[in-house]
Amino acid sequence: MGRWRPPAEKSSPYITKEGYERLNGELKEILSKVVYGIRRHSCLTDPVLVHRP
């Protein structure tokens, strides 16, 4: 556990265009990984798609 630090000074609640674009890019990347995982899992568990002899 880190050492105690006093609270930071209040900052404005606004986000810059660059900050928005960076966060939006991270969100899109995370969502694409989640969607890929869901699609992959559904393909592996769907009885219609899974070939079982």
- 23 contacts: CB under 8 Å, gap ≥ 6: 15
Start-end of H helices in 1-53: 17-45
Please say whether the beta carbons of 11 and 5 come within 8 A.
no
State how far the Cα of 49 lies from the Cα of 53, in Å rounded to an integer.
Answer: 13
Contact between residue 43 and residue 49 where contact means Cβ atoms under 8 Å apart: yes
Question: Most confidently modeled of 1-5, 15-19, 45-49?
Answer: 15-19
Domain spans, the chain: 17-53
Distance (Å, whole) CA 16 – CA 14? 7
Average pLDDT, the chain: 85
Stronger pLDDT, 53 or 35, i.e. the higher one: 35
Residue 32 pLDDT level (bands cut at 50, 70, 90)? very high
Higher pLDDT, 37 or 52: 37
